[in-house]
A and B are shown apart, each in its own frame.
Chain A
């Protein structure tokens, strides 16, 4: 912490929030709102004279409300920057009649009631998202009596009670009588691993955090009875099993089973009813204190940041990485990286490892003063553009600006365009050219394929990242499937223009397949959702024109689904066989007439 605070190249803005990010890799323009501290950060020596004079007493957030602080205070002794901060909503105000005692107490005159919030603008090349976590709030589901019984604490409150810098100088005291507890129980998975209560995922750190806490207790109070109620102990990391074994060997009692019921007895102790899964017995334990091993949830700022940077979230609400194995710290948005619990619950070692990885990935881009951008981007013919705004609506990267009201033609920010081609496929006026996947180039492929013996062939479009890769995987696995399939590669299924499909049917294609990444896996954020809409639209039109809509198929095939690719091809061949020559001829006639 102090290293970061002292580093000549690190500027720390505390009490600050990012309120806007515009731009793209290499050139992000960031708006930061820095709230007033009312204390000169540079001048303050953290002598504490101001706090001594302050008459306002409030619960101390850092100690989880287990101690108090003043309206002007130091967040905690080792805080960086080492400066006091004044909470304006608690302060009695800058009126000598009312208070202003801190102003008088501060010899260096660091306190300034006229300080105001600042908006800062800064341009950066890369962004590391390290927004951390929010501990699960056990008040929401009060199953263990957290809100009713004072002697039920969260793991973070317990941390403060055993911390030498905490409100009790590290002496564990029971909240109700301020005496050292003789027995203590830890309840695991509070807010985790339950689809009904809290979150379905494992929060990763709580098992080891509890193991650590039991060791701290056994070190300080060897006689204390320590029990842990758990589903199973996940001690998977390096050195973890060793700690777990040590904890057991020191007499910590691990009880397999989560309590069903907690009640408070007259003397403040807690009676815990738990079904012991090992012995199949219903056991009761009377304990002086209970600690809830609360889970890890995404930080509250996650959604706001997701919108600002165009990021994706997993179903659990954490940030989604570009690739779970090969790009674990990259966001799909180029130049944005993840570190720590913003990406998923993780311990300190993992957070630090990931942070270093994120730093190197960012440096990899920043080490040159220029960066090569994607060449496969779209271009708009200003003369043909009618400023309808469709392209801007479908662009997953907000790379297109257009003003339909003022009839200002669309423009593509080349640097932000990633080349999915959805805009080109959706433009009703043919005003957009997708470089390297132009209408002409793809039309040539379709035309050549269907120039002869078209009735025997299956025309299939496959996106580069998932389904084309899935086809490759089928090959690597030597899966055999019908040989009359011909794939046309596009970067994204979003590129597959309606006109390619009509061209295919007009030239006698019996069946056509459009394939892409599964919904949620799209390499272009959500471009494949437009594929879905388009295919539905085309199928409706087919029905209207008297063409059997099953002849157009849409399938999601991931890069790992070689087997599925082969199955889909076999299905397509069965479908092809169901299309008669007469049907093909009818379709050709219908489409020729409509033209």
Chain B
């Protein structure tokens, strides 16, 4: 059944994010980011921000040692929000969300700052400006992280039955594949017989055999 999100997101512990303890990790990504952006400098600059419990540069945040370091910090410093400044969230958001789950945190308490695709790689000739931008992006991520609330993906019941609209060759094949895999199929065909256009054809290419 649907989990009522509202009851969770409005629960007292998280409602205001009154006591955010944010861990900020500025990933070097080898030299991908660190060559252009002063990652450790950015981490140091945000360490004093409100709600930031710990901020540090990290070699490869996505690597197993990197993830372990963050997980250990979550436990050691009692962190409840994570900011990772690294590659695009379109790449590693799922990775870090999994890490949060493994550390016992809600996966939606993660925020990422895009320091690689949208910073170090596109401002390679201007390290100072890139570092200033990285600092802005991480600060913005921290500001957003303070108000992040845990979310739960509601579970919906799944009716294990499929509707196939159209009884031509495509509909028949889809219906057979699903039915052979154990699912009930309801097929709806407008005509008096299934078969569609295919049934009207004589030989069919490329095998030149009968269609039915």
Contact = CB atoms under 8 A, between A and B. Distances in A.
Interface in A345-376: 347-349, 351-352, 354-356, 358-360, 362-363, 365-366, 368-376
How big is the B interface, by class? 35 or more
A373 B203 contact: no
A301 B143 contact: no
Contact of A15 (B9, B162, B191): B191
A122 B185 CA distance: 11
Given A10-B187, A480-B125, A566-B122, A132 B168 contact: yes
Interface residues of A, number: 135
A484 B133 contact: yes
A567 interface: no
A1 B212 contact: yes
Contact of B190 (A16, A27, A37, A488): A16
Contact of B189 (A14, A358, A474): A14
A208 interface: yes
Nearest to B173: A355
Contact of B166 (A5, A130, A215, A239): A130
B57 to A, nearest CB: 20
If over half of A's interface residues share one DSSP class (helix, strand or loop), that class is named, otherwise mixed; here it is: mixed
Given A11-B187, A159-B202, A216-B203, A131 B166 contact: yes
A156 interface: yes
B129 interface: yes
B109 to A, nearest CB: 10
A395 interface: no
Given A128-B171, A348-B211, A75 B129 contact: no
A180 to B, nearest CB: 17
Contacts of B114: 471-472, 487
Nearest to B128: A483
Q: Residue among B133, B146, B175, B192 with the most chain A CB within 10 A?
A: B192
A80 interface: yes
A504 to B, nearest CB: 13
Interface of A: 1, 3-5, 7-18, 24-28, 30, 32, 37, 62, 64, 75-76, 78-81, 85, 122-133, 135, 156, 159-160, 162-164, 166, 170, 208-209, 211-212, 215-216, 237-240, 242-243, 299, 301, 305, 337, 339-342, 347-349, 351-352, 354-356, 358-360, 362-363, 365-366, 368-377, 379, 414-415, 435-436, 438, 440-442, 444-445, 447-449, 457, 464, 468-469, 471-476, 478-481, 483-489, 566
9 contacts: A4-B179, A212-B203, A355-B177, A375-B152, A471-B117, A473-B117, A479-B122, A480-B123, A484-B129
The 10 closest A-B pairs by CB, nearest first: A340-B170, A475-B117, A359-B177, A79-B193, A130-B171, A355-B173, A130-B166, A483-B129, A339-B170, A239-B206
